[in-house]
Amino acid sequence: MAIIALIFAAGCVQEMQPRTSDRNLAYMDCKDACEYDAKIVREQNLSDGPCLLNPAKSATDWVCDIAHNPRLPIDDLPENQCSAYREGKAKHFVELDKNCELIRAV
């Protein structure tokens, strides 16, 4: 009986462990897109603040945007934000600077 209880308890503990959050998934997608896709594949100039993921690959409620650090008023203009966020299709965003460093994830 003790063995069965131990097996059951082990199964419960495994299920209760936290999974990677959507915020972390979105950040990882964003960082990958910034470092590999934008700089290596497309050789895109990130100083223009492009929207890199619209939405993020692993967390579709998130977008990935490049902004100035420190932020400038131009970063808050709707035309400089990812369309999925502007249109309400995504509720959260990850902002990185042109060096692919996190500014904020909201």
Is 83 in contact with 54 (CB distance < 8 Å)? Answer: yes
- Of residues 64 and 47, more confidence is placed in 64
Mean pLDDT, rounded, for 56-80? 94
Digit-coded pLDDT (tens) for 69-104: 999 999 999 999 999 999 999 999 999 998 899 999
Query: Could you tell me which residues are beta bridge partners of residue 104?
Result: 95
A 10 A CB-CB count for 40 gives 9
Q: What is the residue extent of each domain of the chain?
A: 21-105
Average pLDDT of the segment spanning 56-62: 95
How far apart (Å, rounded) are the C-alpha atoms in residues 35 and 31? Answer: 6
How far apart CA 30 and CA 66 sit, in angstroms, is: 9
Local confidence band at 43 (pLDDT 50, 70, 90 cut-offs): low
How much is the pLDDT for 8? Answer: 44
Q: What angle do CA 61, 67, 71 make, to 5 degrees?
A: 115
Query: Running DSSP on this structure, what letter comes out for residue 20?
Result: P
